[in-house]
Amino acid sequence: MKNPTSIGPAQVSPIGTTLERHLLDRQRRMPEATGDFTGLFQQISLAAKIIGSRVSKAGLSGILGRTGTTNVQGEQVQKLDDFANSTIVSTVEAGGHVCVMGSEEVEEPIQIPSQYPQGKYVLQFDPLDGSGNIDINASIGTIFSIHRRLTPDGEPGTLKDLLQPGIDIVAAGYVVYGSSNMLVYSTGDQVDGFTYDPGVGEFFLSHPNIKVPQRGGIYSINEGNYHSWDKGIQSWVDWIKTPTQSKKAYRLRYIGAMVADLHRTLLRGGVFVYPPDDKNANGKLRLLYEASPMAFLVEAAGGVASDGKNRILTIQPKELHQRTPVFMGSPDDVADVLRFANA
């Protein structure tokens, strides 16, 4: 019989690291962990697989974003963003790990039906971000964040549990449905990315410890809004796309789905901006469902996330669907845009 020590390092798995294994390893490093967090995360990952599968078939099954409520067979169909929302709610509510949820698609707090346990966590999500991209087969995503509950254990959660600042996030992540599907998450220490293998039906660790570069070469903003911005933002855009002796012109990339634009920003560096404009005094993006979770990930990857004045993570939300301006990405690039914005 072979000496087992001659086989090689035990920690090198021949199958790679699945998301489930990554979560279990994390749980074992925390002796006080109850498995609740891991359980909740497994439900989120299941929902992501179901949504991803439906997204990849959307054109075939007649559930594109803006179509009506009947498909070509005349059957009632849910729009993809409604489908994504109800998939997350029904997957998570029965698990017993959360006491209340908040969704960009739902006006009020989502209560957990009384037949299920009221858990110790709070889940907020944007079920299908960038849904304008569905009909043209471009990238879209799901964004989520998890807080601990503030109200007493065992009772239904309330608005108070949902209105928590980003600095108190326990974990946040996103799923991007693109040329491949990826789930990226952080518990605050580092950011790890997992790519979905549809043949196996699992997310595998593919991008461990993502770090946003100190400076990038890409700016990402809806430049069609140029004439409704403040002078400061206009001057920054004029400057960033003009080559000078000390810098090349930056390239513009704007997918129109925050998940996809920030995924690129995390991997390649640069800056993503959604500033206030004439129509939206506080920008367009929602603090709880989009800005806060993404700010948590960007900071955990070594980047900066500001509302123009302060860290997004320190904003105390006052209402569920509150909006905030967003300036996120590589530290040096965010510093540049803030210098112009605040001049």
Give the x-and-dash track for 99-128 against Mg ion (CB under 5 A).
---------------------------x--
Q: Which does 131 bind (CB under 5 to 8 A by kind): Mg ion, ligand AHM, none?
A: ligand AHM
Q: Which phi and psi (to 5°) does residue 75 adopt?
A: -90, 155
Closest contact distance (angstroms) between CB of 290 and Mg ion is 5
Q: Which does 202 bind (CB under 5 to 8 A by kind): Mg ion, ligand AHM, none?
A: none
Q: Which stretch binds ligand AHM (CB under 6 A): 11-19, 47-55, 129-137, 156-164?
A: 129-137
Other CB atoms within 10 Å distance of the CB of residue 108: 10
Q: Is 261 in the site for Mg ion (CB under 5 A)?
A: no
H helix or E strand, kind and range, residue 121: strand 121-129
Window 310-329: residues binding ligand AHM (CB under 6 A): none
CA 50 to chain centre: 17
Closest contact distance (angstroms) between CB of 322 and Mg ion is 14
Total binding residues for Mg ion by CB under 5 A? 2
Please tell me the distance from the alpha carbon of residue 328 to that of residue 307, in angstroms, as a whole number: 9
Please tell me the distance from the alpha carbon of residue 33 to that of residue 40, in angstroms, as a whole number: 13
Window 218-247: residues binding ligand AHM (CB under 6 A): 222
Q: Is 291 in the site for ligand AHM (CB under 6 A)?
A: no
**Which of 36/230 has CB closer to ligand AHM?**
230
Q: Is 178 in the site for ligand AHM (CB under 6 A)?
A: no
Please tell me the distance from the alpha carbon of residue 63 to that of residue 279, in angstroms, as a whole number: 31
Token pair recorded at residue 259: 């998940």
Closest contact distance (angstroms) between CB of 80 and ligand AHM is 11
**Which of 129/192 has CB closer to Mg ion?**
129
Please tell me the distance from the alpha carbon of residue 186 to that of residue 212, in angstroms, as a whole number: 14
Burial class (CB in 10 A: 0-12, 13-18, 19+), 239: middle
Q: Which does 284 bind (CB under 5 to 8 A by kind): ligand AHM, Mg ion, none?
A: ligand AHM
CA-based Rg of the chain, rounded to a whole angstrom?
21
Total binding residues for ligand AHM by CB under 6 A? 11
Q: Is 131 in the site for ligand AHM (CB under 6 A)?
A: yes
Q: Is 256 in the site for ligand AHM (CB under 6 A)?
A: yes
Select from 187, 323, 326 the least CA-distant residue to 258.
Answer: 326
Please tell me the distance from the alpha carbon of residue 225 to that of residue 281, in angstroms, as a whole number: 13
Please tell me the distance from the alpha carbon of residue 283 to that of residue 321, in angstroms, as a whole number: 12
Q: Is 271 in the site for ligand AHM (CB under 6 A)?
A: no
Cα(first)–Cα(last) distance of the chain, in Å? 73
Q: Is 161 in the site for ligand AHM (CB under 6 A)?
A: no
List the one residue from 81, 93, 105, 129 that touches Mg ion (CB under 5 A): 129
**Which of 138/150 has CB closer to ligand AHM?**
138
Torsion of CA 92, 95, 100, 103, to 10 degrees: 0
Q: 316: helix, coil or strand?
A: coil
Q: Is 299 in the site for Mg ion (CB under 5 A)?
A: no
Closest contact distance (angstroms) between CB of 124 and ligand AHM is 13
Q: Is 126 in the site for ligand AHM (CB under 6 A)?
A: yes
Q: Is 258 in the site for ligand AHM (CB under 6 A)?
A: yes
Please tell me the distance from the alpha carbon of residue 152 to that of residue 133, in angstroms, as a whole number: 41
* Contacts to Mg ion by CB under 5 A: 126, 129
* Contacts to ligand AHM by CB under 6 A: 104, 126, 129-132, 222, 256-258, 284
